[in-house]
Structure 1
Amino acid sequence: MSEILSFNQVTYSYTPEEPHTRNAVEDVSFTINKGEWITIVGHNGSGKSTMAKLMSGLLMPQQGEIRIKREILTEENIWDIRSQIGIVFQNPDNQFVGATVQDDVAFSLENNGVPHEEMVKRVHNALRQVKMEDFINHEPHHLSGGQKQRVAIAGALAMHPQILILDEATSMLDPQGREEVLTIVEALRKEIDLTVLAITHDLEEALLADRIIFMNAGKKYAEGTPEEIFALGDDLVQFGLDMPFAMKMTKLLQAQGVQLVGQHMTEEELVNDLWTSNFNK
């Protein structure tokens, strides 16, 4: 696997002139490989969104370095590097600028001087990828929450990014809308070898990740697979995060004397264990 993004001892403060205030991000290092799904979790104020802005060049580190495809991010190459990164934010309404879905997806392409024929092709292809081609002439503000986020993803995909950053992109969606968006992103990841970096406080969503980076007070508290991070258990709760429903239910059942093997991250795992351990004897 080839390295596509890395932080090397990155520090950033919104008030660097005040030496006694806490850094938003402090001495953070990690490496992401092409095609991985990485999730950054942490409570509000842990540094997650600041990291997204640093990755995309909206902010520049005051210490340390960020590399995209092993190239150090600088003021000189920021526009070239930013073109390789797509970002979908929490509220899709804040990203819409076009009168129709196709106008909105085409906006960034027009700004980057993509020829008209190529632009039309990219818009149609991006909308097909997120299953929104039938809504090409609809007004974005009349779509459901999940549909809006799919259009926002299409706008990012039309630029042919190598990295897609989801910055709390599902936090305002209902369960159906959240499932729609995550299913689409997972399919795209496999289809075009997209690298996905999801920033969230929802640990159920984090189950999709290959690796999780757990942030607390601007620092990297832990990094590992979902199994390794969820094994921290009470530490997650202590730092303002909630364990997945299946893990909480497993603990409650074990406390009531129900025989279960280990912990369960998904409801399917819990149901299967309940069946085999207690009802299939």
Structure 2
Amino acid sequence: MKEILSLDHVSYTYESEDGESRKAIDDVSFTVWDGEWIAIVGHNGSGKSTLAKMMIGLLFPEEGSVNVFLEKLDAENIWDIRSRIGIVFQNPDNQFVGSTVQDDVAFALENNGVPFEQMVPRVHESLAQVNMAGFLDHEPHHLSGGQKQRVAIAGALAMQPKLLILDEATSMLDPQGRDEVIKVVDDLKRTTGLTVISITHDLEEVLLADKVIVMNDGKLMLTGKPEEIFAHGEELEAIGLDLPFASRLSRYLRQAGVEIQGEHTTEEELVNELWTSHFNK
């Protein structure tokens, strides 16, 4: 497998106006491989947003190194590396610069000097990938939150990135909008092999990830597959994270004396076990 991004013993400290210091990132290391979906979760102040800034060069670590596409990220290569990364931020309203959907998706292409004859098919293709092909001439402020984020993802995809970073991209959306965005990202990952890093505090969002990284007080607390992470339910709740509904219900059933095997992360898994083990006898 090809390495896409790695953090090697990185640390970062914020200095406040009153002279006090706070270590936002403390000796964190991990690697992201080609085609993986990595979810980075943690409560507010856990360090995940600082990690996101270091991944795209908005901050440079005081200790350790950030390596993207096998290059150490620094001031000299930052623009070249950023051109190969798609980034979608928290508030979709802050990302629009065009008067129509197609103008907005084309904006980054124009800034990077992509010829018009290449630009048009790339705009159409990227909008089709996020199921927004029918909204070419719509004004962005008339779209729902989920549609706006899908257009933002299309704008990132039009640049043909090797890596897509979602920085709290669903946190301001209603449940329907959040589901729309998550489904689009899952479809893209499965059909194109795109590498995805999703930074979030919503544990429902990480169920489709290949690997989860849990941050707490600037440190890497846990890492593993979603089902491995959710097995630490009490630890996750202790640091302020909400478990998926199926995980919480599984624990309540165990406490009530119902025998539950394994760690269930979806309602379907839990219902299937209850039906097979307890009702279909």
TM-score normalised according to structure 1 size: 0.96
SS in 1 for 2:262: coil
C-alpha distance in structure 2 between counterparts of 1:207 and 1:51, whole Å: 21
1:203 is matched with 203
Q: Which AA in structure 2 matches 1:141? A: H
Please state how far the C-alpha of 1:74 moved relative to its aligned partner: 0.8
2:105 is matched with 105
- The verdict on how the C-alpha distance between 1:17 and 1:148 changes in structure 2, with shifts beyond 3 A counting, is closer
How do residues 91-130 of structure 1 correspond to structure 2 at under 5 angstroms?
91-130=91-130
2:270 is matched with 270
Identity %: 65
Structure 2 residue runs of 5 or longer lacking an equivalent are none
1:243 is matched with 243
How do residues 67-78 of structure 1 correspond to structure 2 at under 5 angstroms?
67-78=67-78
1:27 is matched with 27
Please state how far the C-alpha of 1:257 moved relative to its aligned partner: 2.5
Q: Which AA in structure 2 matches 1:158? A: A
CA contact (8 A) 2:40 2:199 kept: yes
C-alpha distance in structure 2 between counterparts of 1:201 and 1:70, whole Å: 28
C-alpha distance in structure 1 between counterparts of 2:189 and 2:18, whole Å: 42
Please state how far the C-alpha of 1:29 moved relative to its aligned partner: 0.5
SS in 2 for 1:164: strand
2:233 is matched with 233
- The verdict on how the C-alpha distance between 1:64 and 1:19 changes in structure 2, with shifts beyond 3 A counting, is farther
User: How many equivalent residue pairs?
Assistant: 281
RMSD: 1.5
Please state how far the C-alpha of 1:140 moved relative to its aligned partner: 0.6
Q: Which AA in structure 2 matches 1:234? A: E
C-alpha distance in structure 1 between counterparts of 2:34 and 2:19, whole Å: 37
1:146 is matched with 146
2:39 is matched with 39
Q: Which AA in structure 1 matches 2:221? A: Y
2:181 is matched with 181
- The verdict on how the C-alpha distance between 1:208 and 1:156 changes in structure 2, with shifts beyond 3 A counting, is same
Q: Which AA in structure 2 matches 1:242? A: D
SS in 1 for 2:14: coil
Does 1:8 find its partner at 2:8? yes
| C-alpha distance after superposition, 1:51-72 (max 9, x if no partner) | 1111111222221111111111
- The verdict on how the C-alpha distance between 1:141 and 1:17 changes in structure 2, with shifts beyond 3 A counting, is closer
1:255 is matched with 255
C-alpha distance in structure 2 between counterparts of 1:39 and 1:11, whole Å: 20
SS in 1 for 2:65: strand
Q: Which AA in structure 2 matches 1:33? A: W
C-alpha distance in structure 1 between counterparts of 2:131 and 2:272, whole Å: 33
C-alpha distance in structure 1 between counterparts of 2:18 and 2:160, whole Å: 40
Please state how far the C-alpha of 1:17 moved relative to its aligned partner: 9.6
CA contact (8 A) 2:230 2:263 kept: no
SS in 1 for 2:21: coil
SS in 2 for 1:277: helix
C-alpha distance in structure 1 between counterparts of 2:176 and 2:247, whole Å: 22
| C-alpha distance after superposition, 1:188-226 (max 9, x if no partner) | 112221100001111111111111111001111111111
C-alpha distance in structure 2 between counterparts of 1:264 and 1:39, whole Å: 18
C-alpha distance in structure 1 between counterparts of 2:15 and 2:191, whole Å: 42
TM-score normalised according to structure 2 size: 0.96
2:133 is matched with 133
Q: Which AA in structure 1 matches 2:160? A: H
Does 1:56 find its partner at 2:56? yes
C-alpha distance in structure 2 between counterparts of 1:89 and 1:42, whole Å: 17
Please state how far the C-alpha of 1:20 moved relative to its aligned partner: 5.4
1:165 is matched with 165
